[in-house]
Amino acid sequence: METLSVAKSFDGTQGVYRHRSDACLCDMTFAVFLPPQAKEGPVPVLWYLSGLTCTHQNVMDKGEYRRTAAELGVAIICPDTSPRGENVPDEKDNWQFGSGAGFYLDATQSPYAENYRMATYIAEELPTLIAANFPIDMQRQSIFGHSMGGHGAITLALKNPGRFKSVSAFAPIARPMVAGWSRPAFEKYLGSDETAWRAYDTVALIEDGYRLPELLVDQGKADGFLDDGLRPWLLEEACEKAGIPLTLNMRDGYDHSYFFISTFMADHIAWHAERLG
């Protein structure tokens, strides 16, 4: 693991690191904020998964999470959204696929299957690296994310019961199997058999019996992707049928940007911190 930068912030440290990924077969970069409490011993951790076109840098620069994380003693880990590099297959003119758009799944179709293994990277490889190198209590993990990252956070929590103490999302893609901006990517990554897509679709996973103790979602009413890409009402219907307690906050006037995310970031971190103990 290579340290790219470390800066003091709110008496904690904001670091950026790079390592060679066995899952994605390329160099991967991630950010870790350690609160000041980490100087005394292991602290709980909150994973943040970013959305389409983003890297670790977007939330690190615009998310405004460090003050609250430092006050509550929670580490924040921000992975990248996809494999990257000259030898990684990509569609450079398509922001909804390839670089920056890994959808937190393990691709099965050539030529993407070799590198696009983000589900394994986030669920297995990166946590092992974090546990070996940072003062973090891996028995106290929670997860949240934005848009594509909200989709990733919820699906990973559904498929790893007991690992995460809590899960929340900002404007998650609730039903990527049928959403206009994710369906084409699913077909390229996973093939034409839509039964394989269900493992990476929140609503389908809930329909198939996967459960969460509870879920917090914030969604802007002025979000331009609301009707075609996000459709939180489908998540609301699925949770109601399954008996999953869902707090869905529809926020007047807010869009899909980090102006929206940063406004409610402290609320989400505090909600997770309470459940992390």
Q: Which residues are catalytic?
A: 147, 223, 256
Cα separation, 230 vs 255, in Å, equals 12
Q: Which residues does 16 contact at the CB level (< 8 Å), separation at least 6? A: 3, 4, 5, 6, 29, 30, 31, 56, 60
Q: What separation in angstroms does the CA of 28 have from each of 46, 56, 77, 199?
A: 19, 10, 13, 24
* Total residues belonging to the chain: 277
The set of residues, in sequence order, having a beta carbon less than 8 Å from that of 253 and lying 6+ positions away, is: 220, 221, 222
* Cβ neighbours of residue 260 closer than 8 Å, sequence gap 6 or more: 170, 171, 218, 220, 223, 251, 254
Which uninterrupted H or E stretch holds 7? Answer: strand 2-9
Residue 137 to residue 34: CA distance in whole angstroms: 12
Encode 99-131: b = buried (16+ Cβ within 10 Å), e = exposed.
bbbbbbbbbeeeebeebbbbbebbbebbbebbe
